Amino acid sequence: MDRLCVCTYVPHRLLRKISATHMFSPQCLDATKTVRMKKVNELVTFISEICERGESVNIARASFVTSLNLISNTLFSTDLGSYDPRTSMELQESVVRIMETIGKPNLANYFPLIGFIDVQGIRKEMKVCSDVLFQVFQGFIDARNNDKSSRSEGDLLDSLMDLVKENGSELNVNDIKHFLYDLFLAGTDTNSTTVEWAMAELLRNPKTMAKAQAEMDDVVGPNGVVQESHISDLPYLQALVKETLRLHPPGPLLGPHKAETNVEVLGFLVPKNAQVLVNAWYIGRDSSVWENSEQFEPERFLVGREIDVKGRDFELIPFGAGRRICPGMSVAMKTVPLILASLLHSFQWKRQNGVFPEDLNMDESFGVTLHKTNPLCAVPVKKRVNG
């Protein structure tokens, strides 16, 4: 993978390095632990309110807001998402619209000659929404430049602005805005889609759901509150996250790669400059590698050789591998299990009119992110006495 790694959509390599030290390093992850807990607790509170009204929750939408607020708090120390559909959050709406627009089949990809006409208005829509994001980011940058007291000790924007001052020749405010843009797009939908697919698999596999909940009752205690520190003691939960990423990798074709030089892969020549799309979705379902490859069986990760998602085991690469591996992997592997554990430990889940069937519709819509075609809506029922 390292030889197929020319960067095609992140504007500045330096920023990748910065994110590794300023956002995703073990120290930063430790420092942002409290924010993650707070935001996940807000999700639980929101669902508890829905529970009291006996309504259903759109799982992807709710966990999308949590993921968005997690990122916006790490970057700007503020919420940019809202669970209340009546509250207009322009950044949230624009991120959703960008993800929907990117996911649409674009005729220009099939007929490049007509690309300049923008028949479907995709380019225009992308521009309108992206402009909103850039304006919001510029607003935060201006506020910090104009009013030093609006700087909040330790969030990522402060560090990035300090870096611009120190490395003016290599880095400018535009680079920062593009970097923030990538983080919001790459780090929200991926997380929430994974939570939705995991919940869908569990709802049609009640025995698997019961096993995961029993493990939590043992480790967290029936009336305890899930903490991030519990996750390492919940092997079944970790296995079910891996199994979800195997069957439903949010980035089914990873990011577009390009060969830096002629590369030989398994006897095939990949010529220099060729664009390479890696089908992580197929790799995860390859029946020559995975037994019962279409079945959701977290147990497969608990026996035999340990297979992880960190880019070293090529049969499971939902985050990619090599130099271009997802920089947010460590934060995703903390957030997704934490959200899932909180949803499963605090609530039982049912369908509006009964239980979910084994043949629950699991159709996938291929786009940049692999979405569930029919959004999963489920009714929460409070499980814990003090939850």
Nearer to ligand HEM, 331 or 341 (CB): 331
What one-character DSSP code corresponds to residue 354?
B
Which region among 152-160, 186-194, 207-215, 375-383 touches ligand HEM (by CB under 6 A)?
186-194
| Residue 336 contacts ligand HEM per CB under 6 A | yes
Phi, psi angles (nearest 5°) of residue 349:
-125, 135
| Residue 319 contacts ligand HEM per CB under 6 A | yes
**Of the candidate residues 68, 91, 122, 331, the single one contacting ligand HEM (CB under 6 A):** 331
Q: Indicate the Cα dihedral angle 119, 124, 125, 130, nearest 10°.
A: 150
DSSP per-residue string spanning 70-122? HHHHHHHSS----S-TTS--HHHHHHHHHHHHHHS--HHHH-GGGGGG-TTSH
Which region among 143-151, 164-172, 206-214, 249-257 touches ligand HEM (by CB under 6 A)?
249-257
Nearer to ligand HEM, 81 or 379 (CB): 81
**Of the candidate residues 44, 254, 376, 378, the single one contacting ligand HEM (CB under 6 A):** 254
Kindly list the distances between the CA atom of residue 26 and the CA atoms of 19, 20, 135, 227, 256, in Å, as whole numbers in the listed order. 12, 9, 31, 17, 28
**Of the candidate residues 3, 6, 11, 16, the single one contacting ligand HEM (CB under 6 A):** 16
DSSP per-residue string spanning 303-341? SSS---SSSSSTT--TT--GGGS-TTHHHHHHHHHHHHH
DSSP per-residue string spanning 180-231? HHHHHHHHHHHHHHHHHHHHHHHHH-HHHHHHHHHHHHHHH-TT----GGGG
**Of the candidate residues 81, 284, 298, 320, the single one contacting ligand HEM (CB under 6 A):** 320
- Residue 326 annotated as part of some ligand binding site: yes
CA angle 287, 104, 130 (to 5 degrees): 120
Kindly list the distances between the CA atom of residue 65 and the CA atoms of 68, 93, 288, in Å, as whole numbers in the listed order. 5, 11, 38
**Of the candidate residues 81, 328, 337, 380, the single one contacting ligand HEM (CB under 6 A):** 328
**Of the candidate residues 91, 186, 259, 283, the single one contacting ligand HEM (CB under 6 A):** 186
CB of 204 to ligand HEM, least distance (A): 21
Residue 22, SS3 per DSSP = helix
| Residue 71 contacts ligand HEM per CB under 6 A | yes
CB of 81 to ligand HEM, least distance (A): 14
> With CB under 6 A, what is the number of residues at the site for ligand HEM?
26
Residue 351, SS3 per DSSP = strand
**Of the candidate residues 175, 182, 196, 297, the single one contacting ligand HEM (CB under 6 A):** 182
Nearer to ligand HEM, 63 or 379 (CB): 63
Nearer to ligand HEM, 190 or 238 (CB): 190
CB of 39 to ligand HEM, least distance (A): 13
Q: Which residues are annotated as a binding site for heme?
A: 326
Chain residues that interact with ligand HEM, rule: CB under 6 A: 7, 10, 16, 71, 182-183, 186-187, 190-191, 194, 250-251, 254-255, 318-320, 324-328, 331-332, 336
